[in-house]
Structure 1
Amino acid sequence: MNYDIRLVVADDHEIFLDGLALMLSRQENITLVGQAGDGRELLEVVAREKPDVVMTDIKMPRMDGITATREMIRLQPDARIIALSMFDEENQIVEMLEAGAKGYLLKNADKQEILDAIANVYEDRVYYCKSTSAKLAGMIAKSKFNPYKHKEQISFTEREQEIIQLICLQYTAQQIGDKIFLSKRTVEGYRTRILEKMNVRNTAGVVMYALKNNLIKEEDLL
């Protein structure tokens, strides 16, 4: 894919920020145009550099990521923001999404997932971290965050709905095939089409879409 993503990152932990910045600076198609250690500095850097994507920690001094996100969205409604979170910050992740973030990552995400999240948010897709728990999925489903409300309703066949439910229950392609008497390859083909229809990139995205569109109930995930 031929693009050059101008990126700004913000985090108040200097070692984490420096390590993230070093990794990102080595990537083709990404230009790191600024770094910030708190929300106020982030707003200054964003105003100056006008990046394509912003990655920001949620908890920061002077101004937190939620407040900074609200301000960025106020100034630029189509801003593309990814929240960086610790594993125990479910409420803050929901607040970030409601404030206008288009995705979130746990700070222990691997390099490939970080790059996937940046690319997907750059292309105006929502990105849900692969490590999304059933608890967090339920919280997001109940929240005001709904990236699907202005989009045309998608129809799924009975077979696709059956596979969606099994994907949400964390069944592998082989397990799904064994359960509904299809080959693993056939199930993988269904899964690819389902992800394309939903415009999501991983199982967490399928779960979130299914919850928001009443294809599965939260209690089914527990």
Structure 2
Amino acid sequence: MITVFIIDDHKMVIEGLKLLLKDEKDIEVVGHEYSAWAAYEVLPKIQPDVVLLDINMPEINGIDACKHLTALIPNLKIIAITMHKEASLIKMMLANGAKGYVLKNAGKNELVEAIQTVQKGKMFLDEISNEIVINTMSNSKKKNTNAALFPKLSRREKEVLKLILDEHTTQEIADKLFISFGTVETHRRNMLIKTGTRNTAGLVRIALEYELHK
């Protein structure tokens, strides 16, 4: 029996994953948490085989959480479960100890295969993620540049980023773009995740270095 623990800040996602795995004879979901901080407390006691970990979460993102969890429990096998398709995120998750990467729109068969594969000590990328990595490597060889690894920001994220670079406060950005304070913070958090940075200073450095705001 493969024991599975889920970390995701959306109850609907957790319930959906449980439902998908409910009838699998060799897989048992033994618990869940809505944040990595909470999971740090219970995982050493439960010692599951596999953790399904979301990337976009409050307090601490999945990239940092993956690094901490694999240090906390060396034999833990982590599979990223996310909507993000950026090659940079896939590489960062794998570099931080994840054994698998599965998009949330993948089917049940791929999810089950991912769990069974990582439990055997092998790596698993779903079909789309695998294609992204292969294309990135191919493009990198052709162009001899890291440009293919740069995360793609949405139009709104670029608008927010430009105002951050102009040293506007969150409230000023919200007023200029006619959006809420919380929406600005959500865009900021998503950009931190996409760029693998921990704070606004790191985001500004990466943005200027790679011209992500253009």
* Separation in 1, partners of 2:132, 2:85: 11
Q: 1:44 aligned to 2:60?
A: no
Report the equivalent of 1:7.
4
CA deviation map 1:85-126 (0-9, x unaligned): 214343222111000001110110100110000000011110
Q: 1:122 aligned to 2:100?
A: no
Q: In structure 1, which of residues 18, 26, 30 is the aligned counterpart of residue 27 of structure 2?
A: 30
Q: 1:42 to 1:137 in 2, by over 3 A?
A: farther
Structure with the bigger percentage of helix: 2
Q: 1:134 to 1:25 in 2, by over 3 A?
A: closer
Report the equivalent of 2:66.
69
* Separation in 2, partners of 1:116, 1:51: 17
Tell me, yes or no, if the aligned pair for 2:55 and 2:62 is still in contact at 8 Å. Answer: yes
After superposing the two structures, state which structure 1 stretch, 59-68 or 131-140, moved more. Answer: 131-140
* Separation in 2, partners of 1:104, 1:77: 18
* Separation in 2, partners of 1:24, 1:140: 33
Tell me, yes or no, if the aligned pair for 2:44 and 2:73 is still in contact at 8 Å. Answer: no
Q: 1:28 to 1:63 in 2, by over 3 A?
A: same
Report the equivalent of 2:106.
109
Q: Which of structure 1's runs of 4+ aligned residues deviate more than 4 A?
A: 138-143
* Separation in 2, partners of 1:104, 1:133: 9
Q: Percent identity?
A: 35
In structure 1, stretches of 5+ residues that fail to align are 144-222
TM-score under structure 2 length normalisation: 0.60
TM-score under structure 1 length normalisation: 0.58
Amino acid at match of 2:50: V
Q: 1:82 aligned to 2:79?
A: yes
* Separation in 1, partners of 2:58, 2:79: 18
Tell me, yes or no, if the aligned pair for 1:93 and 1:104 is still in contact at 8 Å. Answer: yes
Amino acid at match of 2:43: V
Task: State the Cα RMSD in Å.
Answer: 2.2
Tell me, yes or no, if the aligned pair for 2:85 and 2:103 is still in contact at 8 Å. Answer: no
* Separation in 2, partners of 1:93, 1:39: 19
Tell me, yes or no, if the aligned pair for 1:34 and 1:45 is still in contact at 8 Å. Answer: no
